Amino acid sequence: MSEATRGHLDDRSPETVRVVRALRSYANESELYVGAAGREAAMHRTDLSGLALVMDRGLQGEHPTPGQLSAALQLSAPATSAMLDRLERLGHVTRSPHPTDRRSVVVEITDHALEVGGAMFGRLAAHLAPVLAGHTDEELALVAQVLEEVGAATRAAREEVSGRG
């Protein structure tokens, strides 16, 4: 650990250090769960990330193009195409003509993918539900706010590392 990093940690309160450690533990456990669930469904980690992105965009009323997926997932065009081929073969996504750009297609999630995802993450939801139910709406609002801010800070750090920041 560098002196600069160590200094940042030394200046933090015990509760701040506890939060950072809890976030690190959560991130690790989350990755391990997604890996295990992906193996159970015979899907690559990249496939799961792509599928989550297509689903999230779909819930916002958007249908991403392969190019948008490439950029968001930081994948090459061939890697994105291979991922979409796998997802389409498994019945998780469809590709259809772009409504305004004849040269492009949009990617949409299928009902089958939603069913598989529900089964894949239902176990996790069953374990999370009592944890969340044990807190007030005010506590959950604060946790949500902190996690949203942590997500934004992590994105900014990733962009800095990627040379985009």
One domain, residues 32 and 68: no
CATH number of the domain bearing residue 70: 1.10.10.10
8 in a domain, yes or no?
A: yes
24 in a domain, yes or no?
A: yes
One domain, residues 71 and 55: yes
Q: With a threshold of 0.85, does the pTM exceed it?
A: no
20 in a domain, yes or no?
A: yes
What are φ and ψ of residue 96, in 5° steps?
A: -135, 160
> Which of 18, 78, 13 has its CA nearest to residue 46?
78
Last residue of a domain, one of 93, 110, 127: 110
Last residue of a domain, one of 110, 127, 154: 110
Most confident listed range (6-20, 108-122, 133-147):
133-147
One domain, residues 53 and 97: yes
More confident: 92 or 164: 92
140 in a domain, yes or no?
A: no
Residue 43 has pLDDT above 70, yes or no: yes
75 in a domain, yes or no?
A: yes
Based on the structure, what is the number of domains in the chain? Answer: 2
pLDDT bracket for residue 9 (50, 70, 90): low
Could you tell me the end-to-end alpha-carbon distance of the chain, in angstroms, rounded to an integer? 23
Residue 11 is given by DSSP the state T
Last residue of a domain, one of 82, 110, 138: 110
Contact between residue 89 and residue 56 where contact means Cβ atoms under 8 Å apart: no
Residue 3 CA to residue 86 CA, distance in Å, equals: 45
pLDDT in tens, 94-132: 999 998 988 999 999 999 999 988 888 889 999 999 999
95 in a domain, yes or no?
A: yes
Find the length of the chain.
Answer: 165
Residue 13 is given by DSSP the state -
Domain range spanning residue 80? Answer: 44-110
Mean pLDDT of the chain: 90
Residue 67 has pLDDT above 70, yes or no: yes
Task: Report DSSP letters for 20-84, one per residue.
Answer: HHHHHHHHHHHHHHHHHHHHHTT--HHHHHHHHHHHHHHHTT----HHHHHHHHT--HHHHHHHH
Residue 163 has pLDDT above 80, yes or no: no
120 in a domain, yes or no?
A: no
Contact between residue 49 and residue 92 where contact means Cβ atoms under 8 Å apart: no
Q: 57-81 burial, b for 16+ CB within 10 Å, e for fewer?
A: bbeeeebbbbebbbeebebeeeebe
Residue 36 has pLDDT above 70, yes or no: yes
Residue 18 has pLDDT above 90, yes or no: yes
pLDDT at 8: 61
pLDDT at 10: 59
Cβ partners under 8 Å of residue 19, min gap 6: 146
Residue 3 has pLDDT above 60, yes or no: no
Residue 165 has pLDDT above 80, yes or no: no
One domain, residues 96 and 56: yes
pLDDT at 164: 67
pLDDT at 26: 96
137 in a domain, yes or no?
A: no
One domain, residues 49 and 106: yes
